[in-house]
């Protein structure tokens, strides 16, 4: 059997026999993989051209596309587990890869609600750049017009693809995925189903099983390249002349020497101590230690070093090793025999100054699988008593179930040791002392992409040290590659170009479909609350009747709201404040504004959905007169939850409350849920 590549809209086999891919537990042949014969340049050009369909879709459409794909893959997820077991992954390891990857699709699909119903994104607030406000600037972000090239690692064949593609697809950019060859058979299986589903527009995804060959020779400035793997390989790719000459964005997520710290308060009689032991054991054995986020360095108060060594030894001693298809196996195999030899070489380097205190690199007891042909290895715990003098543990990474135990005197020393890894994806600390947590986090954050604080309060719901989450950044400085992945909206930005647009507020309103303050008002013809979602236009404005605020209004609102703050109720206490007399409550001004702009009759407006960006900019005293300018600011279409749900959208209105001098006293954005005329 030979794996197929998906290129130029069709499935094709590479030329020649290619690389033999073997079952990690039995050594049996699974398939051959090769990319020879693929026209990589044509694939890049095809993605850029066909990707126009994806770029033209709105964020809402892309988000719904991701949701539909996630639901489809989740419905057939069980078919991937037997294939995943061949990579050496246990059921729980496979769950992280398969369902964790699909979860990324769901999480990114939900981000659509944070974007307008446009193919582009209005980034941040506008900036007034002239005295009279006729010349303003607004940042927008548009999809890059290239292709996202993902060069992935072997440890997560599905998660590695979906966590990246979910983001570039939401941004409106197509992808070419190049999984690590050794486990590409699992990636290929899922891509077969993705393509067959027809959910993605053509050109949104292409797959290379086998060598990436000369793919970087064809990238240009509109492309984005991501790499996950070893730091050495990443640096080599990042230095490619085409990457440098074309200024191609290159996001690198490299294996790093992640650490964990046992806080000085986490003594053996505390819950934090037990949680710490459990976390280290899990991170050493999950995916057989083949995780870019796995714990490689363990820092412990020097007087607790022996206690931790004993307890970790007991925990690791319960690890049953073998073929993950056999019940009772808790740790599977490395991805291949080559990985075993590489890990052993790194262990030998660590043993130059460190001592192995659990396990044997050359002996492993398996309860199933082929101990000779399979890629099995025992968990290995080393101890380094002088981590400031002997630096191997801070410089050498064994990409397997290997970690080194080291002592520290105080938290300042623990922070210093954590930073000696020269940058990592994640670190953690087990402590129930807020001061210890703060000192460590603030001191260590400069060298880590993520920090987990472990204590009894979060233990039941924690996803753990080694689990990157879709809405939080995944990446780290220095040795970890200096890049960022995921992170919610932050991740989407990596695949878009930010552009500052300048012009008149009226013109920029039309360009962005986002009302720019100071732009000309459009006559809605009738009250906006009488219009359905489709009928409303950005910029439509009503100017309300006016109302004079009285002393009685202020007193009555204080009584109704129970807000008796002195500035509203006690004129004798105003000396030394910014107020000249009893001031109206800000929330009264907003409530009075609603009384002025709301159309009371039943209509398409279903409900008030919320308030954004509310500011009270000028005191309102009794005797002042206020009015409201209500403007359609932005529209966001919503999908129906089911067949009986009402078709609707969210309309953001700018509420500009002004006084008799025409000066703004309060400004806010209210969100209303508005029924659509078309209920189909």
Indicate whether 462 and 532 sit together in one domain.
no
Sign of CA pseudo-dihedral 138, 144, 149, 154: positive
Indicate whether 154 and 243 sit together in one domain.
yes
Please check whether residue 624 is in contact with residue 549, taking contact to mean a CB–CB distance below 8 angstroms. yes
289: left (phi over 0), alpha (psi -120 to 50) or beta: left
Question: What residues form DSSP beta bridges with 206?
Answer: 176
**Is 477 part of a structural domain of the chain?**
no
Q: What are phi and psi of 484, to 5 degrees?
A: -140, 140
Full DSSP string of 413-480: HHHHHHHTTSSBS-EEEE-S-HHHHHHHHHHHGGGBS-EEEE-TTTTTT---TT---TTSEEEESGGG
Indicate whether 564 and 611 sit together in one domain.
yes
Q: Is 125 helix (H, G, I), strand (E, B) or coil?
A: strand
Residue 670's pLDDT is: 94
CA distances, 533 to each of 516, 539, 604, 673 (Å): 20, 14, 8, 9
Of 99, 292, 384, 439, catalytic = 292
pLDDT means per 10 residues, the chain with 680 residues, are 92 89 90 92 94 92 95 96 93 92 92 87 86 88 95 90 94 95 94 96 94 91 92 88 93 90 95 95 92 94 95 93 90 90 94 94 88 90 95 93 96 96 94 94 94 91 86 88 85 92 91 90 93 93 95 94 91 88 93 93 90 92 95 88 84 95 94 83
Indicate whether 48 and 92 sit together in one domain.
yes
Please check whether residue 278 is in contact with residue 239, taking contact to mean a CB–CB distance below 8 angstroms. no
Model-level pTM? Answer: 0.88
Residue 653's pLDDT is: 95
CATH no. for residue 660?
A: 3.10.129.10
Indicate whether 248 and 264 sit together in one domain.
no
Candidates 161, 143, 139; CA nearest to 151 is 161
Of 253, 279, 397, 484, catalytic = 253
Burial class (CB in 10 A: 0-12, 13-18, 19+), 218: middle
Q: Cα(569)–Cα(563) distance, rounded to whole angstroms?
A: 9
How is residue 664 written in tokens? 């703004």
Candidates 296, 313, 297, 301; CA nearest to 270 is 301
Candidates 333, 356, 331, 332; CA nearest to 346 is 356
Indicate whether 370 and 463 sit together in one domain.
yes
CA distances, 522 to each of 175, 598, 637 (Å): 41, 18, 21
pLDDT in tens, 179-209: 999 999 999 999 999 999 999 999 999 999 9
**Is 22 part of a structural domain of the chain?**
yes
How is residue 533 written in tokens? 């979602």
Q: Cα(226)–Cα(480) distance, rounded to whole angstroms?
A: 13
Residue 638's pLDDT is: 82
Indicate whether 278 and 231 sit together in one domain.
no
CATH no. for residue 445?
A: 3.40.309.10
Residue 371's pLDDT is: 84
Indicate whether 548 and 625 sit together in one domain.
yes
DSSP state for residue 2 in the 8-state scheme = B
CATH no. for residue 32?
A: 3.40.605.10
Residue 679's pLDDT is: 63
Residue 540's pLDDT is: 94
Q: What are phi and psi of 10, to 5 degrees?
A: -150, 160
**Is 680 part of a structural domain of the chain?**
no
Sign of CA pseudo-dihedral 357, 378, 159, 49: positive
Q: Is 537 a catalytic residue?
A: no
**Is 512 part of a structural domain of the chain?**
no
**Is 515 part of a structural domain of the chain?**
no
Indicate whether 438 and 587 sit together in one domain.
no
Indicate whether 269 and 251 sit together in one domain.
no
Number of structural domains (the chain) is 3
Q: Is 427 a catalytic residue?
A: no
**Is 540 part of a structural domain of the chain?**
yes
Residue 576's pLDDT is: 87
Indicate whether 575 and 622 sit together in one domain.
yes
Residue 480's pLDDT is: 86
Residue 525's pLDDT is: 92
Residue 18's pLDDT is: 87
Cα angle at 575 between 574 and 576, to 5 degrees? 110
Q: Cα(460)–Cα(583) distance, rounded to whole angstroms?
A: 48
**Is 516 part of a structural domain of the chain?**
no
Sign of CA pseudo-dihedral 391, 392, 396, 399: negative
Question: What residues form DSSP beta bridges with 473?
Answer: 486
Full DSSP string of 281-326: HHHHHGGGG--TT---EEEEEGGGHHHHHHHHHHHHTT--BS-TTS
Q: Cα(366)–Cα(378) distance, rounded to whole angstroms?
A: 9
**Is 514 part of a structural domain of the chain?**
no
DSSP state for residue 25 in the 8-state scheme = T
Candidates 492, 458, 77; CA nearest to 251 is 492
Please check whether residue 551 is in contact with residue 537, taking contact to mean a CB–CB distance below 8 angstroms. no
Indicate whether 526 and 600 sit together in one domain.
yes
Residue 471's pLDDT is: 86
Candidates 224, 273, 272; CA nearest to 247 is 224
Residue 125's pLDDT is: 85
Residue 116's pLDDT is: 81
Q: Cα(470)–Cα(490) distance, rounded to whole angstroms?
A: 10
Residue 446's pLDDT is: 94
Angle between helices 271-285 and 305-316 (to 10 degrees): 50
Domain that holds residue 14: 4-255+490-497
């Amino acid at each position: 059997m030979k794996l197929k590549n998906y290129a130029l809209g069709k499935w094709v086999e590479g030329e020649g026999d290619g690389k033999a891919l073997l079952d990690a537990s039995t050594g049996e042949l699974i398939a051959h993989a090769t990319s020879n014969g693929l026209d990589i340049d044509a694939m890049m050009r095809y993605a850029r051209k066909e990707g126009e369909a994806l770029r033209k879709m709105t964020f809402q459409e892309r988000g719904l596309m991701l949701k539909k794909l996630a639901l489809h893959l989740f419905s057939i997820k069980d078919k991937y587990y037997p294939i995943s077991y061949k990579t050496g992954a246990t059921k729980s390891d496979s769950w992280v890869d398969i369902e964790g990857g699909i979860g990324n699709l769901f999480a990114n699909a939900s981000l659509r609600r944070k974007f307008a119903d446009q193919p582009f994104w209005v980034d941040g607030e506008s900036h007034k750049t002239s005295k009279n406000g006729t010349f303003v600037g607004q940042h927008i972000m548009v999809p890059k017009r290239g292709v996202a090239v993902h060069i992935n690692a072997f440890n997560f064949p599905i998660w590695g693809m979906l966590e990246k593609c979910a983001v570039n697809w939401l941004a409106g950019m197509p992808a070419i995925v190049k999984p690590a060859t050794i486990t590409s058979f699992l990636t290929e299986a899922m891509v077969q189903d993705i393509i067959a589903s027809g959910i993605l527009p053509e050109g949104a995804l292409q797959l290379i099983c086998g060598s990436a060959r000369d793919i970087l020779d064809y990238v240009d400035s509109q492309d984005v390249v991501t790499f996950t793997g070893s730091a050495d390989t990443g640096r080599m790719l990042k230095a490619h002349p085409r990457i440098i000459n074309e200024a191609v964005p290159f996001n690198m997520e490299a294996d790093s020497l992640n650490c964990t710290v046992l806080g000085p308060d986490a003594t053996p009689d505390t819950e934090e101590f037990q949680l710490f032991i459990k976390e280290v054991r899990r991170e050493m054995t999950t995916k057989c230690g083949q995780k870019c986020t796995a714990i490689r360095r363990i820092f412990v108060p020097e007087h607790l070093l022996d206690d931790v060594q004993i307890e970790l030894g007991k925990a690791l001693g319960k690890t049953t090793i073998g073929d993950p298809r056999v019940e009772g196996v808790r740790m599977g195999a490395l991805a291949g025999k080559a990985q075993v030899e590489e890990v052993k070489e790194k262990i030998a380097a660590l043993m130059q100054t460190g001592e192995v205190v659990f396990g044997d690199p050359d002996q492993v007891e398996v309860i199933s699988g082929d101990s000779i042909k399979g890629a099995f290895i025992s968990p290995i715990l080393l101890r380094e008593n002088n981590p400031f003098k002997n630096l191997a543990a801070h410089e050498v990474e064994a990409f397997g179930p290997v970690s080194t135990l080291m002592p520290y005197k105080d938290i300042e020393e623990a922070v210093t040791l954590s930073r000696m890894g020269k940058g990592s994806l994640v670190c953690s600390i087990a402590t129930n002392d807020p001061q210890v947590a703060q000192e460590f986090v603030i001191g260590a954050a400069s060298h880590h992409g993520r920090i987990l604080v472990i204590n009894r309060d979060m233990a039941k719901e924690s996803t753990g040290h080694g689990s990157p989450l879709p809405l939080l950044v995944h990446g780290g400085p220095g040795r970890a590659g200096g890049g960022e992945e995921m992170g919610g909206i932050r991740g989407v930005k990596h695949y878009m170009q930010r552009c500052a647009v300048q012009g008149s507020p009226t013109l920029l309103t039309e360009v962005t479909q986002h009302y720019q303050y100071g732009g000309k008002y459009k006559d809605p013809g009738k009250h906006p609350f009488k219009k359905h979602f489709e009928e409303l236009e950005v910029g439509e404005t009503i100017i309300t009747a006016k109302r004079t605020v009285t002393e009685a209004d202020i007193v009555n609102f204080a009584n109704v709201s129970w807000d008796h703050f002195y500035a509203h109720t006690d004129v004798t206490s105003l000396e030394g404040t910014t107020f000249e007399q009893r001031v109206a409550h800000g929330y009264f001004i907003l409530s009075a504004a609603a009384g002025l702009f709301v159309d009371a009759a039943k209509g398409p407006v279903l409900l008030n959905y919320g308030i954004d960006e509310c500011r009270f900019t000028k005191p309102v005293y009794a005797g002042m007169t206020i009015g409201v300018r209500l403007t359609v600011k932005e529209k966001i279409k919503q999908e129906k939850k089911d067949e009986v749900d009402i078709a609707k959208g969210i309309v953001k209105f700018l509420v500009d409350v002004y006084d008799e001098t025409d000066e703004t006293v309060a400004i806010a954005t209210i969100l209303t849920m508005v029924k659509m005329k078309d209920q189909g």
